[in-house]
Structure 1
Amino acid sequence: MTQPPITLLMADDHPIFRHGIEAILSLEDDMTLLGSANSGEQAVAMYRELRPDVVLMDLQMPGMGGLRAIREITEEFPNAKVIVLTTYQGDMQISNALKAGAASYLIKSTLRCDLIFAIRQVHEGGRPIPVDVAKVIQEHTGDDALSAREIEVLGHVALGFSNKRIANQMGISAETVKSHMKSILAKMKARDRAEAVVTALRRGIIEE
């Protein structure tokens, strides 16, 4: 008996990329793309309506981002299978997506054959993680994580705020801000504020 095709939903706000994925999927006899969303909100709504077997989800989209969309879908539908397909390669972005419920994490430069393999594996209940993605995670295993407060401070630093302005924004003293910054630099092995911000952006600890 012929198995029904794997049904998919794609969420990405770049039309050219969506068209490229549509072309790739159209070549596979065992896959059918049910629809494409250009925002997290639309992805959640379309999932409720279409109930696809697998979702291909970008992280950075207007309005609701992919991470929140993954959480909303997997909380409402615990058996939902989501593959992140994005340009972001930071270890925190990867970790947060997997914690939110993603079954796999692929970079958009992934080869066509690897994408198709991942879709089939996830559909069968697997959680394939490419070697390059696993390596990124492994590089920071054991690192001291920043606290929520430290991430908030670093976010203000990324905006160019002085310690005094950060203190006013957060309702704490300038000395407390200095203490947070000292801890941030030590945990991130950064020489100064600028290096800490660049590293945090690269790793996905804070967003632009």
Structure 2
Amino acid sequence: MKTPRIRILVVDDHFMIRLGLIGAFAAERDLELVGEARNGAEAIEAFAKLSPDVTLMDGILPDLHGVEVTRRILQRHPAARIIVVSINETAEDVHRAMEAGAWGYVPKSGEKDTIVEAIRAVAGGARFLPPELARRLAERNTQVSLSARELEVLRLIAQGKANKQIAAELVLSEATIKTHIAHILAKLDAPDRTRAVTVAMERGLLRP
């Protein structure tokens, strides 16, 4: 009796990356490519049409973030099993993807064997994270997180804006902004605003 193959949809806007991902599992007898997509809209349409067993989802697409595409697919197809494959490897990136419902997260810098292992694990009903990403995620979950408002303030600090400008943009008093900054410095264990921005970027809370 023939063993059913794991049907895979590959989503990435770069042809060579798609080719590389497909090449990672092309020789595996139990894995089969059923479709490709270049952006979020194509991915959503392709998933609905093909119902793949596993989807390899680029973390950054030209129209939508891969995590948002993952979220939208899962809203329509709760049984979807999606692995995010991204150049971003911070704990915050992994957290966002898993929170959106991804079954796995693999860095684009990973080895071919890791992709194959992830596909088989997720198809079999297991979550998958390489050991290093699992460690980062565990560390992240022990850290104090910033509130949505604190992240807003920190983004404006990163843009070089002074307290008065931040207060005007967020329609808050300067005293309130100073309080938010004090909380940010304490949570990030940073001595000043510059270091706070650096720490936030290192953790993936902010992008350069």
Structure 2 length as normaliser, TM-score?
Answer: 0.94
The aligned residue for residue 160 of structure 1 is 160
Q: Which stretches of structure 1, 4 residues or longer, exceed 6 Å deviation after superposition?
A: none
CA shift at 1:116, angstroms? 0.5
Structure 1: runs of 5+ lacking an equivalent: none
How many residues get paired?
208
**Amino acid aligned to 1:130:** P
Query: Which residue number in structure 2 is paired with residue 64 of structure 1?
Result: 64
* Distance (Å, rounded) in 2 between the aligned partners of 1:61 and 1:198: 25
1:188–1:196 contact (8 Å) kept in structure 2: yes
The answer for the alignment partner of 2:28 in structure 1 is 28
Q: Which ranges of structure 2 fall in alignment gaps of 5 or more residues?
A: none
What residue number does 1:112 align with? 112
Alpha-carbon shift at residue 40 of structure 1 (Å): 1.9
Aligned to 2:84: 84
Q: Which residue of 2 aligns with 1:170?
A: 170
* Cα deviation, residue 113, structure 1: 1.1
More divergent stretch after superposition (11-20 vs 46-55):
11-20
1:206 Cα shift? 2.5
- Partner of 1:89, secondary structure, is coil
Identity of aligned residues (%): 37
- TM-score, structure 1 length as denominator? 0.94
The separation in 2 between residues aligned to 1:173 and 1:191, in whole angstroms, is 23
Q: CA deviation at 1:198?
A: 2.2
Instruction: Tell me the residue number matched to 2:201.
Output: 201
Aligned-residue CA RMSD in angstroms? 1.4
Shift of 1:56: 0.6
Q: How far apart are residue 28 of structure 1 and its match?
A: 1.5
How many Å separate the matches in 2 of 1:204 and 1:41? Answer: 26
